[in-house]
């Protein structure tokens, strides 16, 4: 167990010396604002919030923290779902909110260099003038730093990849105050160990990302969406495998359980009915390709027993479908405002998706729990939201969570497809990685021997 020290006057003075008094605050309101993410985990207060404006300042803050054994937890906008940015051990909440610059747009290379605090939606709004976009889309206006740190993905990952697939280089401040560069602006990179991807997904436990070169994609000329409803979860998820197996390059392939479709129909103003539903999108450069691809999707869905197959009539309807899908989590939170809830996130190889989905529905039925199923089905990712009112039910919810994670791992999948480890998935990493977890911890010890970076996340056994 690491021994941390409190933020004392000497530390505060040093921090002010680096970033200026206007960028250091011990106000309770500022600390409270950064004490809790969007997960079920309770808040925990830092002792001070610090807003660096450059990579050099970030590195200098880390050097001071390391010298004084003060914990540092980076903060993007706190949209994580597993407790990642909660400063469990107090110390410094290192907010990236003032590092929002778009440093350079390399339009001819389809690249952009940014500071980590910019929201991906703000970035894409700026890039629209170049006809380019950064594809990963977790929904909330997550920061680029938070997305890279969590390896966030989203609805269009099935075509464009996750955050890890859309980054080329980063600057990273290390615990001891060194500022290093990892990766390069070349698409091909073979020069030694892949440190870039060591830091991607490390959740602020190995270093703080202070700059990133992102890979961009041309905005597609044409987009079209299809909604198909099915009599059962089994038929819907079989259609997922069939669509993927057909070789169609879908840009989104989302699954909604019957209860989720009914909720969105009731509260979202879109008619999804109340049956298991697939929501799909095609991107293409030519009208003919869209027509052919849409025709194939309709054919596959009908062959697999779809009850209805509906193609969005125009861009407005398509946008509205995706708006509702993006708002799903918020709609669910409003609908179950008086409930506690658990949100699960597992992913399996696509061929195992039907077995995973059936396992989830039978396990939920066994415990008689209310639930909402939703998934980025095209890449084998499934989410289960379990709302519950009675504290006594929590033990059952945990049992279901464990059973679902165990099944995903047994099927060759993972305990988390995109939300990351944080606090919630930490207990399952030994099950998933075995001795590999010890190698991860050895890397952590090498880069952060005093354990100051985001303590209490990813590693639970080692913290005891």
Ligand X SMILES: Cc1cc2nc3c(=O)[nH]c(=O)nc-3n(C[C@H](O)[C@H](O)[C@H](O)COP(=O)(O)OP(=O)(O)OC[C@H]3O[C@@H](n4cnc5c(N)ncnc54)[C@H](O)[C@@H]3O)c2cc1C
Residues in touch with ligand X (CB under 6 A): 37-38, 73-81, 84-85, 96, 116, 138-140, 142-143, 145-147, 149-150, 152-154, 203-204, 208-209, 329-330, 418-419, 454
Task: Pick the closer one to ligand X by CB: 354 or 375.
Answer: 375
Long-range contacts of 31-35 (CB under 8 A, 24+ apart): 31/93, 34/75, 34/78, 34/85, 34/87, 34/93, 34/95, 35/86, 35/87, 35/93
Which residue in this structure is represented by tokens 């970033």? 19
Q: Which is nearer to ligand X, 75 or 388 (CB)?
A: 75
147/405 with CB nearer ligand X: 147
Residue 238 vs 428, nearer CB to ligand X: 428
C-alpha to C-alpha distance for 240 and 258, rounded to whole angstroms:
16
Instruction: Give min distance, CB of 201 to ligand X, in A.
Output: 10
H-helix or E-strand spanning residue 260: helix 258-268
User: Quick one: which of 210, 241, 215, 192 has its CA closest to 118?
Assistant: 210
| Min dist. Cβ of residue 162 to ligand X (A) | 7
Which H or E run includes 240? helix 233-245
Q: How far apart are CA 387 and CA 340, in angstroms?
A: 6
- In angstroms, give the least distance from the CB of 305 to ligand X: 28
Of the pair 142, 253, the CB lying nearest ligand X is at 142
Q: How far is CA 451 from CA 143, 220, 442, in A?
A: 24, 44, 12
How far CA 308 is from CA of 305, 311, 406, 445, in Å, comes to 9, 10, 34, 55
In sequence order, what are the beta bridge partners of 111? 106, 215
As measured in angstroms, the least distance from the Cβ of 139 to ligand X is 4
Q: What's the closest the beta carbon of residue 307 comes to ligand X, in angstroms? A: 27
Alpha-carbon distance of 93 to 99, in angstroms, equals 15
Q: How far is the CB of 224 from ligand X (least distance, A)?
A: 21
**Burial code of 306-316, b = ≥16 C-beta within 10 A, e = fewer?**
beebbbbeeee
Q: Which is nearer to ligand X, 209 or 357 (CB)?
A: 209
Instruction: Decide whether 76 or 276 has the Cβ nearer to ligand X.
Output: 76
CB of 227 to ligand X, least distance (A): 19
Min dist. Cβ of residue 247 to ligand X (A): 25
Beta carbon nearer to ligand X, 141 or 289 = 141
Residue nearest to ligand X (CB): 146
Is residue 168 within 8 A of residue 187, CB to CB? The reply is yes
DSSP three-state, residue 126: helix
């Amino acid at each position: 167990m690491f021994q941390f020290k409190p933020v004392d006057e000497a530390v505060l003075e040093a921090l002010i010396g680096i970033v200026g008094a206007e960028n250091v605050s011990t106000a309770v309101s500022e600390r409270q604002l950064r004490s809790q993410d969007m997960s079920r985990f309770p808040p925990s207060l830092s002792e001070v919030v610090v807003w660096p404006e450059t990579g050099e300042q970030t590195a200098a803050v880390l050097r001071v923290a390391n010298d004084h054994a003060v914990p540092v937890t980076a903060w993007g906008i706190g949209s994580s779902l597993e407790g990642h940015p909660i400063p469990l051990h107090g110390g410094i909440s290192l907010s990236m909110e003032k590092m929002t610059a778009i440093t350079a747009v390399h339009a001819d290379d389809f690249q952009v260099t940014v500071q980590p605090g910019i929201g991906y939606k703000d970035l894409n709004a700026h890039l629209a003038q170049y006809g380019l976009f950064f594809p990963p889309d977790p929904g909330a206006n997550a920061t680029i730093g938070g997305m890279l740190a969590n390896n966030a993905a989203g609805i269009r990952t099935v075509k464009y990849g996750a955050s890890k697939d859309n980054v080329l280089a980063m600057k990273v401040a290390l615990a001891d105050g060194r500022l290093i560069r990892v990766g390069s602006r070349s698409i091909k990179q073979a020069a030694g160990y892949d440190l870039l991807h060591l830091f991607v997904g490390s959740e602020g436990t190995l270093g703080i990302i202070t700059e990133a070169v992102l890979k961009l994609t041309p905005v597609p000329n044409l987009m079209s969406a299809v909604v198909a409803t099915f009599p059962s979860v089994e038929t819907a998820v079989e259609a997922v495998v069939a669509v993927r197996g057909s070789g169609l390059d879908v840009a989104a392939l989302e699954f909604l359980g019957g209860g989720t479709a009914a909720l969105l129909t009731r509260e979202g103003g879109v008619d999804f009915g109340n049956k298991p539903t697939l929501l799909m999108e095609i991107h293409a450069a030519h009208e003919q390709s869209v027509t052919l691809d849409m025709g194939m999707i309709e054919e596959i869905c009908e062959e697999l027993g779809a009850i209805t197959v509906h193609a969005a009539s125009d861009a407005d309807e398509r946008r509205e479908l995706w708006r509702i899908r993006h708002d799903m989590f918020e709609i669910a939170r409003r609908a179950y405002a008086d409930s506690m809830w658990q949100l699960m996130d597992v992913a399996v190889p696509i061929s195992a998706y039907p077995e995973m989905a059936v396992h989830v529905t039978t396990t939920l039925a066994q415990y008689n729990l209310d639930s909402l199923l939703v998934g980025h089905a095209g890449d084998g990712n499934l989410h289960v939201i379990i709302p519950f009112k009675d504290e006594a039910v929590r033990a059952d919810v945990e049992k279901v969570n464990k059973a679902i994670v165990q099944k995903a791992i047994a099927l060759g999948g993972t305990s988390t497809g995109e939300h990351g480890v944080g606090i919630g998935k930490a207990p399952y990493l030994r099950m998933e990685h075995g001795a590999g977890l010890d190698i991860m911890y050895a890397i952590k010890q090498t880069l952060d021997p005093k354990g100051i970076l985001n303590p209490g996340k990813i590693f639970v056994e080692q913290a005891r």
